[in-house]
Amino acid sequence: MDLIPPNLEVEMAQDAIVISFLEERDVAVQFYAALCNMRWKKINILPDDERIIEKLKGTDSNIWSCSWRHSGGIIADIRNANYNTKEDYMDFYCSGNEGDISDVVKECFYRMGWEPCPWDNDDDL
């Protein structure tokens, strides 16, 4: 069993395709919006028996989420590191459509092994 839980932020910062998408501000705002008001679940990384045990305990180490402020910071940090944009979280914070997942983001995250797990749908845990 892997002791380090999956981390979408780390994977985004290391993924060349995500980095290339984030060059465009409009697409970067879409990634920000998709991180807000949404939990993301790593797809099938635990064996079935371990997933059942976690479900019985009421926990799931495959779930990742962050605040709106942190979402803006993630996007700004990746853009700063790769495009020298000199942005901070406020450049994205409350930019609109928080919680919406565009097709581009959904396809990109799914390729990386992540699926949305809305807060109101605890059956997915």
Kindly report, residue by residue over 2-31, the tens digit of the pLDDT: 567 899 999 999 999 999 999 999 999 999
Helix, strand, coil share of the chain (percent; to 5):
50, 10, 40
Residue 125 has pLDDT above 60, yes or no: no
Q: How confident is the model at residue 79 (pLDDT cuts 50, 70, 90)?
A: very high
CA distance 1 to 48: 12
Average pLDDT (97-112) is 97
Residue 1 has pLDDT above 60, yes or no: no
Mean pLDDT over residues 27-36, rounded?
98
pLDDT at position 120 is 79
Instruction: Check: pTM over 0.95? Answer yes or no.
Output: no
Q: DSSP secondary structure string, 62-98?
A: TEE---HHHHHHHHHHHHHHHH-----GGGTTT-S-T
